[in-house]
Chains A and B, each alone.
Chain A
Amino acid sequence: MGGWVGKIARINLSTRNITVQDLPKEIAVSYLGGRGFGARILYDEVGPEIEPFSPDNLIILATGPLNGSKAPSSSRFSITTKSPLTGTILDSNCGGKTGIRLKDAGYDMLIISGKAARPVWLLVDETGIKINDAENIWGQDVNVTNNNLLAQVANPQTASVACIGPAGENLVLFASIMSDKSKAVGRGGVGAVMGSKNLKAIVTSGTSKGVAADPENLEFIVYEARKVIKQSPITSIGLPTYGTSALVRVMDMMGAFPSFNFSECGFEHINDISGETLKERLLVKQSACWGCPIGCKRETKTTRGAGEGPEYESLWALGPNCGIHDLETIAEANYLCNRLGLDTMSTGVTISCAMELTKRGIVDGIKFGDYQSLLTMIEDIAYRRYQGDALAEGSLRSAQKYGAPEFAMQVKGLELPAYEPRAMGVQGLAFATSNRGGCHLRGNMLGPELLGVPKIVDHSGASGTVGLLIYHQHLSAAIDSLGFCKFGGFAVGDELLARLMTAITGTEFVPQNLHAAGERIWNLERLYNLREGFTNKDDTLPKRLMEEPLKSGVAKGRVVNLAPQLEEYYRYRGWNTDGVPKKEKLKLLGLEA
């Protein structure tokens, strides 16, 4: 099977039992890989009776068929689990080399269950899988752990470390897993689930590259894919030159840049934190994920530290959303989150919620703009100290504790990203219906509503773009399953992806196959959440976004009118008015019980 290795490893940390099984081809073709594999297995094996921190919850580390191939921008691997932050199905992915090295070692996927009696780390290489003692590295930060483990493997050049930091060990509900030090499997608390299993790290190592089914055709398709990446000003100029923070000024100009915990729109000090300023003041060099011609990563340094980033979302969450415009502090907060293994977005939005509670006199804590306390608060969260212990539960639980959940800017418990939905047409609907909670990567309308990819569409909130959102939700699910990067997706469309799949796997794919797989995955994730007890009432937004008109910007006066969009969304999806997929729809997708 070109594209897929054809092997799955199951590791039970309680019993230390390791088994290897074949990957069925029909599962590979129907669910593609990554997120799709994770959804299928979690649905089949982790029911409502299993709590996120139960040993019976799974960590599913899955690769995609494009990982390790010549396809550009295709190093992303995925981790799926039941989220401790949201209780929903959760997958999170990143562009570190962990997935590629896993395939090189001979596996498409690791399914990890159980709980080790003492801290352990896993070594997965071409000779097999070993469970190693990790007591000497428990408590170490991500960078130290990474260096320590690479020093212990035979061939560090072909190895990759995915590990947790202190935040994961302390079960912070939004702890991340960091691959190759700085690439975050960030969202939803995947790191906390790893910590709950006493699993400090997974080291993957290998050199065995798969062979494409049609190498000659692949050469041409890859050439064409790289050509469209080179042609697009987004992927050939904006992202390479300024990184993802190129969006800072663009979003501010479009009136869609939230600040101060979404209580304001736009930011007075926008030029202090823009992509241009970051390039001028902090950039050391541009870098890229494995095999990516875009190179949106930034290696940066401040007067007190160095590291990777900050990305647009991190910069916003730890900066303007907290009323902070000191770029060095924001960058150092980002480095610190990475070292401690914290999701920068949830960290920032949880702190901004706490800041708003302070402003409103509900608590006596950290204040908007207090950049000097930001780093201390981040450490307090990771180590669950003082107010940080409450914040380690995420914005919703911590705001509920103080009787003010309406100031938690989240959906289903997952903190929102840096897009003001009141200034966009159906971005609010995208957040409300995202299966993992408030997320921009499950069908982002940034392309069609603001950047004009493929074409600019009406973003006044008028009817008509709900169908386009559904399309993007399916395509996102497919992209996450292939191992492709969404930034590459600004240039490389479904047609090229399908042709890449055909050349790599030898199975003929057309765009519709990718969308059908995406729809299957989306509906399966929905079924999972419904089985967990979520209902259409959870497809909602923070009250502020639906009731408080924007005070400024081009969308001044607007709120999200969610109810009619949601009604239209359910209808267009073939779901009933309660948001439950109809039998006919499930039958079409091969998901009938």
Chain B
Amino acid sequence: MLEEFQRIGRDLFLSGLVSSHGGNMSVRMGDRILITHRGSQLGQITAEDVVETGLYDNDSNIMLASSETPVHRTIYLQTAGLAIVHAHPKVAVALSLIEEEIVPIDNEGSYLLHKVPVISSEIASGTAMAGIVAESLQKYKITMVRGHGCFAIGQVLEEAYQWVSCLEESCLVIYYSRTLGGQTKEFRKNADQYKKW
């Protein structure tokens, strides 16, 4: 499992989806969770950077765990996720500042994500934010917190990482297509349904 944290953490950092000490990851194992250490560098994870604590209850390890542990717990309690990746994809964050929701227009983003909701919360780790992020992730694989970053769930870390990576690519396509100007040509059957997803 440590290798999985190291592999995904390094890829998140190298692909620019988190800054040096940004983001966090966790995995649920039944009624326990493994989560990255508070302030750890995802690109440089060591054994000490992965902390085990309870899903329902605290133990002393909570002092070491990511400050966003309550958000992760709430997500696990309210969704089917078994792994969470929280990252700060730059283009997606920028787009979240001007959109109510992100609807990919590229083929892969449409196929895999359909639609990504954008929610607002000023405090990164508050109970209120935990609730609305978790509620959103009940229906969606990935959710943007406006001006902050995304939370993605999967069965394994790699799957959650894929949604983050896919979202950022879709946002780049939206950005490029808008920058190029002109009318985009629709290629998807039921294209209007994606907004209703």
Contacts and interface: CB of A to CB of B under 8 A. Distances in A.
B185 interface: no
A448 B155 CA distance: 9
Interface string B23-34: 000011111100
Interface stretch (B59-67, B75-83, B91-99, B123-131): B75-83
Contacts of A479: none
Contacts of B29: 464, 466-467, 470, 568, 572
Contacts of B82: 467-468, 471
A461 B29 CA distance: 16
B32 A571 contact: yes
Given A223-B190, A467-B28, A467-B30, A510 B156 contact: no
A572 B82 CA distance: 12
B106 interface: no
A220 B190 contact: yes
Interface string A449-469: 000001101100011101110
Nearest to A519: B30
Contact of B80 (A223, A455, A464, A511): A511
Interface string A218-242: 0010011001100100000000000
A62 to B, nearest CB: 23
Given A223-B189, A510-B139, A511-B79, A468 B30 contact: no
Nearest to A572: B30
Nearest to A582: B31
Given A471-B82, A511-B80, A227 B111 contact: yes
Interface string B171-191: 000000000000000000110
B32 to A, nearest CB: 6
A448 B196 CA distance: 31
Contact of A512 (B80, B158, B196): B80
A370 interface: no
A509 B188 CA distance: 26
Contact of B79 (A231, A462, A512): A512
B4 A464 contact: yes
A75 B141 CA distance: 28
B120 interface: no
Contacts of B4: 457-458, 464
B6 to A, nearest CB: 12
B45 to A, nearest CB: 14
A7 interface: no
Contacts of A279: none
Interface in B47-78: 56, 78
Contact of B156 (A454, A462, A511): A454
A573 B111 contact: no
Contacts of A220: 190, 193, 196
Contacts of A515: 80
Contact of A572 (B31, B56, B158): B31
Contact of A455 (B1, B30, B32, B159): B159
A228 B114 CA distance: 13
Contacts of A573: 30-31
Contacts of A6: none
A455 B158 contact: yes
A463 B156 contact: no
Contacts of A569: 30
Contacts of A224: 114
Give the most central of B32, B156, B159: most A CB within 10 Å: B156
A375 B114 CA distance: 53
Interface of A: 217, 220, 223-224, 227-228, 231, 448, 454-455, 457-458, 462-464, 466-468, 470-471, 494-495, 510-512, 514-515, 568-569, 571-574, 584-585
